Amino acid sequence: MSELLTKAQQLKKAAKTLAVLSTNEKNEALAKIADALIEQKEWILEENEKDVALGKEQGLSPALIDRLQLTNERLMQIVDGVRQVINLPDPIGETVEEWTRPNGLRIKNIRVPLGVIGMVYEARPNVTVDAATLCLKAGNAVLLRGSSSALRSNKALVHVMQQALAHSAIPADAVQLLEDTSRETANQMFQLNEYLDVLIPRGGAGLIQSVIRNATVPVLETGVGNCHIFIDESAQKQMAIDIVLNAKTQRPSVCNAVETVLIHENWPYVQELLAALHSKGVELRGDNTLFSSYSFVHQANEADWSTEYLAPILAVKLVKNVKEAIQHIDQYGTKHSEAIVSENQENVHLFFQSIDAAVLYHNASTRFTDGEQFGYGAEIGISTQKLHARGPMGLRAITTTKSLVYGTGQIRV
């Protein structure tokens, strides 16, 4: 039998045991994972070094090498992450709703694990541990499909986790790495409806689209973010500048960073805003008016309005009013995070009501679209789809419910 099918069957079996464990049993197992990661640190870093060496040999870009690289510090952050997951409240068993029907039937919806989760992700080895421990905490088994460039690192991390689980109530089989990283096997995995309850892709737009195109297993789509900030005529000068600088420069490589700023044409501080961005090293790509008005603004082309730069580059455009801003976001947005900076409540209301996105902000940075910032603790990703979970996804997003109905012999008439 193929590696994929063998592991899928082991996972389905392990998921049954895992689903009914107590919070304590799960937390003790996670603590063993944290300890084992520390104990096996040297070996994990050695295996990671082999991936890094091979990546350099194969000419991976410095940015990709950086994502792939583990260090002592990064490994300790991973361990801290596991300990944070231990401290999160366990969603399993929660009563979501309970009511009694006129015929006396008592209905109770309780929260249960999804079952087996397929994680599909790119080179960051930290996802291997972050995702696995979140899945386990919510009672789910997990099939990890990372990229071939991180195979040695992922094998080491999964081996350490499985060894730790072997001494815990969670079956060691509940975490599996798909070592065959071929595209054919990935496509088989995406259609393994009998064994996998959901796929969660994490990575660039190409990876996510490939999963959506090929999957028959339900997908929790995560985060391409072409995020906008609209600065209204009435926006406070310093607040607007602070928010845009934060949303663009605090961490440009993430999906909740801003990519296009739309500015009301009558806002008096356009120059101050653009100069502040320029002085922080942000490359500006402007519409024709801005391009011809400011020497340091490059000319934007059509593609700029749809680009998720993930870099210190920002598209900027003047608009006539909030309606034109809404139309622009409707056309180019990815339904992730959109902000309005304004002192005009009517415009805020219109913006909030009209725009179809996971998170809308009034007078705040788009950078808050994040599980921890929302108060959910660690996140499994940020959903940009509308079904099941929207926006930052915490532990509850990787659970489902079942209805328990208590009767005394009721039949339907």
Shortest approach of a copy of itself to residue 342 CB, angstroms?
11
268 is an interface residue for a copy of itself by CB under 8 A: no
Helix or strand (DSSP H, E) at 200: strand 198-202
| β-bridge mates for residue 313, sequence order | 283
Contact 348, 236 (CB under 8 A): no
Task: Give the per-residue contact string, 104-123, with a copy of itself (x = CB under 8 A; - = no).
Answer: -x-x----x-xx--------
365 is an interface residue for a copy of itself by CB under 8 A: yes
Measured from the CB atom, the residue of 66 and 343 that comes closer to a copy of itself is 343
DSSP 208-229: HHHHHHH--S-B--B----EEE
20 is an interface residue for a copy of itself by CB under 8 A: yes
188 is an interface residue for a copy of itself by CB under 8 A: no
Extract the tokens encoding 231.
């600065």
Measured from the CB atom, the residue of 12 and 152 that comes closer to a copy of itself is 12
Q: Which stretch binds a copy of itself (CB under 8 A): 61-69, 76-84, 192-200, 224-232?
A: 192-200
Cα–Cα distance measured from residue 238 to residue 343, given in angstroms and rounded to the nearest whole number? 13
Task: Give the per-residue contact string, 211-250, with a copy of itself (x = CB under 8 A; - = no).
Answer: -xx--x-xxx---------------x--x--xx-xxx--x
Count of positions (residues) in the chain:
413
- The single residue listed with the structure tokens 């050695």 is 46
Shortest approach of a copy of itself to residue 46 CB, angstroms?
36
6 is an interface residue for a copy of itself by CB under 8 A: no
Cα–Cα distance measured from residue 12 to residue 18, given in angstroms and rounded to the nearest whole number? 10
Contact 264, 289 (CB under 8 A): no
- The burial class, CB within 10 Å (0-12 / 13-18 / 19+), for 212 is middle
362 is an interface residue for a copy of itself by CB under 8 A: yes
Task: Give the per-residue contact string, 64-103, with a copy of itself (x = CB under 8 A; - = no).
Answer: -----------------------------------x-x--
Nearest to 133 by CA among 383, 380, 381: 380
Nearest to 141 by CA among 170, 117, 169: 117
Nearest to 305 by CA among 329, 275, 277: 329
371 is an interface residue for a copy of itself by CB under 8 A: no
Measured from the CB atom, the residue of 152 and 367 that comes closer to a copy of itself is 367
364 is an interface residue for a copy of itself by CB under 8 A: yes
3-state secondary structure of 227: strand
Q: Select from 358, 378, 382, 393 the one that contacts a copy of itself (CB under 8 A).
A: 358
CB-based contacts of 351, cutoff 8 Å, min separation 6: 230, 322, 325, 326, 338, 340, 342, 360, 362
Measured from the CB atom, the residue of 212 and 275 that comes closer to a copy of itself is 212
367 is an interface residue for a copy of itself by CB under 8 A: yes
Q: Which residues bind a copy of itself (CB under 8 A)?
A: 16, 19-20, 99, 101, 105, 107, 112, 114-115, 193, 197-198, 212-213, 216, 218-220, 236, 239, 242-243, 245-247, 250, 352-354, 356-365, 367-368, 373-375, 385-388, 390-391, 400-413
